[in-house]
Chain A
Amino acid sequence: MALDRLWTIVRLRVRSLLKGTALDAELDEELRYHVDRQTDELVSQGVSPGEARTMALRAIGGIERRKDEMRDQRGVSLVEDVGRDLRFGLRQLRRQPGFAVTAIVSLALGIGANTAIFQLLSALSLRTLPVRAPSELTEVRLTGDGRDGRQSGRNRQVSLPQYREILARQQAFSSMLAFGDTRFNLSPHGEIRTVDGLWVSGSFFETLGVRPLVGRLIGPDDDRPGCGEGVAVISYALWQRDFGGRADVVGQLLPGDSPAPIIGVTPQEFFGVEVGRQFGVARPICASGFGANDHWWLAAIGRLKPGWTRAQATAQLSQVLPDIQRTTMPNYRPELAHNYMTMGVEAVDASAGVSPLRASYQRPLGILMIISGLVLVMASVNLANLLLARAAARRHEFALCLALGGTRRRLVQQALTESALVAVLGAAVAVGVAIVFSQSIPPLMSTRSDRIYLDLELDWRIFAFTAAVAVATSLVVGIAPALRAGKASAIGAPARGSAGNDGLRLRRGLVALQLAITLMLLFAGLLFLRTFRNLSLEEKGLGERGVLIASVFFSEERLPPERRLATYADLDERVRTLEGVVSSAAAFTTPLGGSYWESDFVSDTNVREMSYGNRVSPGYFATLGTPLVAGRDFSDADGPGAPAVAIVNESLAKGFWSGSPLGHRFTQPSDSGGPGVQFEVVGVVRDQPYEDLRQPHPHILFIPLAQEPDQKEYRRYVIRSSRSPAQMMAAMTAAVDEFDPTAGIRYALLDTQVGDGMLQERLMARLSAVFGAVALLLAVVGLYGIVSYTVASRRAEIGVRVALGASGARIVRTILGDIGRTMAAGLVAGGLLALAAGRGLASLVYGVSSTDVMTLSAAAAVLAGAGLLAAMWPARRAAAIDPVAALRET
């Protein structure tokens, strides 16, 4: 084809698209000219002017039809049609803002929720680390239950000796790194200020391929045994926050407990290897002082050699694992040694970093993804229902279109364009919803002291996902009404007001489906709410609000062991008499406080059991609001030299003795094989949580803090006061300052400390409740819609009934009975689905069965009640129909 011709064609098509109206005017003018000339010609031949014009017009055969034909010649009619459909659709939406808002908001909620949850999942598990060739990174994990001893940090995979052996014997990796997480106190004295920190091997930064932003990073020479405090590398964020981003930071000493010289700063995008965390300070492993065979605190990551797969790496590591285990065996008794030797090893993908957070949240987020997916289904069904109702209401219009020569294809196309329009608008709003929504979730996962950082910028994955969801939704939602529009018949359009059942069955089915899904979501929401409640403080034997926990740390030199008991007695007294203090006590640890004491005890009935222990001063239970069930609290008389006494919790009492435990004795066997200490039980208290809220009945025994021969260099107080926590902290800091200005203090609130243990439950409870409410709202809208539609289409019939003497109540009953069958079908189906789905939630609920029939009944009752209310409104309108008016309309 000649180029100039191609150019002409393109130019004309573009002109047709851009100047459609101008072209139409041109067509008009051209045809008019023709008719005028033809008329003149005929007149000159002797025809009368009027007749001449008619003849000329007839010859050309209808100007409008010609114009249409010529438009088609322009070859852009599809584009123009879509454009016209879009304008028409927009006009329709503007004309019925109620429909538009309902449709767009339901879709936006559905798509937005999905995008947000997907975004979280993606941030947690799909994104790779910002380091060199992340796809080669592979974590070496040991499987099996062989780690007896000390475990610290979140990544307690291997001990240091194990890492060294793995490094020496592996063949799959070109290099390896190890790291453990910790916290560093950066405050020289007074209130303690900690930042997330890393203990890293000398190969850490080199293996990851991270380059320094300032100075240099930790290298192999920095991680040598006997390095003392070693050196420190700080993160970009810490550099900005604490050092004002100044270049002379290199060479300064790290403030706080560990005065190591700072040697460099990492780039801004590097957050460590653990997703959801941001390290502030990294120091070499040699400076940790750790390294015992029975201390688990490190994660080991290797960079896969070219040509090696993770399966081959696993195989090779499995071969050398027995040697590794034999060489690094702690001093275990036989059964523990056996466990240790039977551990397995696997090489797993670490391209997205390691993440205990991922492990603990992947399942809840997966379930939320399903829930939000169901909400999207609900939104789509609602939309389909609304569009179907509109299609039914517009049957007349469709029939008219067909009669005037419109094609079915055009009608279907128009209906599809309209639903696509709604989907696109919904998706646009959804992006906003998603941003707001996903920004509000990480705070639900974080606590004040334990921040979760997730990179939640919208990225292409999310956009692709939203777009896919929007397109799928538009197709699903558009198909039913479009087919209906295509089925419209030019002659079959029923008279206005008659009971057309067209599509009603389909719409009822959709409403039943909605009810079923809503019941499932409500059930899940209630289960998570009950779980959350079951873990709440009251349920857990902690009746008091606003208890402040203050831990005071002294240095060994300034407070030698022999002076501690007397000093602590003075400090106790000082705290007790602080202004506003209602009740205070000291304790070794607090519920979920992180410190931990577990030991074997033998009762006088010869039951031997592992139990948690705590050492507390008199008034501890009263301060926390834990009821004393029997016996007495400790008193000042239970001091050093007095008979050894103990208070036990109800669960422990039940485990050891059948009757009242008061007066019974038990023994803590000594490690050295001696007689051990014998305690007499003087009191019983309600159960408290110890280290994990979800542990149903931990066995705990309490002994007087004053009877502990080995007083620690720190003292932990629980304080209940009439003043605000901030005022109380200030008063406490001042009081401690008088005793020892170098002492460090850490504060916590018992409420938040315990609440932090319920993060996951809180997240699930809030989000599933929100989703359940959204689903309920959508279902109510759906029900209302179908009943209104039924009433409208049966107007004439109802008019006749009223005219024949049916009472209003009877009309309402008829309408409700009608919808009642749909509701019953939906509720039964939903109930069965909910019970089946409940099994999958078993591991996420606490204190309630995941197939609890009571909860299900409550959900069904809520739904049925809301549904009846939604149906009642239009039903009563039906009862108020004026028979004369209704009959006249037909």
Chain B
Amino acid sequence: MSRPADLVQGTLDLLLLKILALGPLHGWAISQRLKQVSDDVLQVSDGSLYPALHKLEQQGWIDAEWKPTENNRRAKFYALTRAGRRHLARESASWARLSNAISLVVALPED
């Protein structure tokens, strides 16, 4: 069941927070946006999306609200909270450090 790019543990949270930082979205829109912005490289299975969203909500990083959608149905819109914004900043910084470090290691010349 290996997908083209299995997400590193915990990175899904970061992606979701980042996407929501641009503005409130409902679940389906989030999944579409994820595909768009990552050029279809990062395919999050629809199955794992919702539990991840709910976890973030329970942790207080994001907030949810029922609102009418563009096609006039009710959907649950998720938005970043203030705490979530701070959390995103911290996580982005640490991600940058981590990916830098990994790039360095991967770039090591092989003998």
Contact = CB atoms under 8 A, between A and B. Distances in A.
Interface of A: 2, 4-6, 8-9, 12-13, 26, 29-31, 33-34, 36-38, 41, 56, 59-62, 66, 69-70, 73-75
The interface centre, meaning the residue of A8, A12, A31, A56 with most chain B CB atoms within 10 A of its CB, is: A8
Contact of A5 (B27, B55, B81): B81
Contact of B59 (A9, A26, A60, A61): A9
Given A9-B59, A33-B28, A37-B28, A70 B47 contact: no
Interface string B7-42: 000000000000000000011100110000000000
A2 B73 CA distance: 34
B50 interface: yes
Nearest to A33: B75
Interface string B36-75: 0000000001110011001101111101001001000111
A462 B66 CA distance: 53
A29 B59 contact: no
A8 B63 CA distance: 9
Please classify the interface of chain B as helix (H, G, I), strand (E, B), loop, or mixed, using the class held by over half of its residues.
Answer: helix
B82 interface: yes
A2 B83 contact: yes
B50 A66 contact: yes
A56 B26 CA distance: 17
B40 to A, nearest CB: 14
The 9 closest A-B pairs by CB, nearest first: A61-B47, A5-B60, A5-B83, A8-B60, A37-B28, A73-B54, A60-B46, A59-B46, A69-B51
A56 to B, nearest CB: 8
Given A29-B74, A61-B45, A66-B50, A12 B58 contact: yes
Contact of B58 (A62, A66, A73): A73
B82 A4 contact: yes
A267 to B, nearest CB: 59
Contacts of B59: 5, 9
Contacts of B45: 59, 61
Contact of B46 (A6, A13, A61): A61
A796 B69 CA distance: 64
A26 B55 CA distance: 15
Contacts of A75: 58
Given A29-B76, A30-B76, 8 more contacts: A5-B61, A9-B60, A33-B27, A33-B76, A41-B32, A66-B47, A66-B50, A75-B58
A14 to B, nearest CB: 12
A766 B102 CA distance: 85
Nearest to B75: A33
Contacts of B76: 26, 29-30, 33
Most buried by A among B58, B69, B81, B83: B58
A70 B81 contact: no
B49 to A, nearest CB: 8
Contacts, number: 76
Looking at chain B, what size class is its interface with the partner chain?
20 to 34
Contact of A38 (B28, B66, B69, B86): B28
Contacts of B46: 34, 38, 56, 59-61
20 contacts: A2-B82, A2-B86, A6-B60, A9-B59, A26-B66, A30-B75, A33-B28, A33-B73, A33-B74, A34-B27, A34-B31, A34-B46, A36-B73, A59-B45, A59-B46, A60-B47, A66-B47, A69-B51, A73-B55, A73-B58
Nearest to B52: A73
Contacts of B60: 4-6, 8-9, 12
A60 B55 CA distance: 17
Contact of A33 (B26, B54, B57): B26
Given A2-B83, A4-B82, A29-B74, A70 B28 contact: no
A62 B75 CA distance: 20
A8 B76 CA distance: 17
A853 B50 CA distance: 76
Contacts of A70: 50-51, 54
B69 to A, nearest CB: 8
Contact of A30 (B27, B63, B81, B86): B27
A588 to B, nearest CB: 91
A74 B58 contact: yes
Given A12-B57, A73-B55, A30 B47 contact: no
Contacts of A37: 28
B51 A66 contact: yes
Contacts of B27: 30, 33-34
Contacts of A13: 58
A59 B50 CA distance: 12
A4 B28 contact: no
A5 to B, nearest CB: 4
B91 to A, nearest CB: 15
A651 B59 CA distance: 92
Q: Which of B31, B54, B69 has the most CB of A within 10 A?
A: B54
Max chain A C-beta neighbours (<10 A), residue from B27, B47, B63, B81? B47
Contacts of A2: 82-83, 86
B50 A31 contact: yes
A61 B74 CA distance: 23
Contacts of A31: 50
Nearest to A9: B60
A36 B59 CA distance: 28
Nearest to A59: B46
A62 B50 CA distance: 12
A4 B75 contact: no
A66 B52 CA distance: 11
A30 B50 contact: yes
Contact of B54 (A60, A62, A74): A74
B23 to A, nearest CB: 18
B47 A59 contact: yes
B28 A34 contact: yes
Nearest to B73: A33
A5 B58 CA distance: 10
A73 B46 CA distance: 17
B27 to A, nearest CB: 5
A174 to B, nearest CB: 64
Contacts of B31: 34
Contacts of B73: 33, 36
Interface centre among B50, B55, B57, B75 (most CB of A within 10 A): B50
Nearest to A75: B58
Of B55, B57, B60, B61, most buried by chain A (CB within 10 Å of CB) is B60
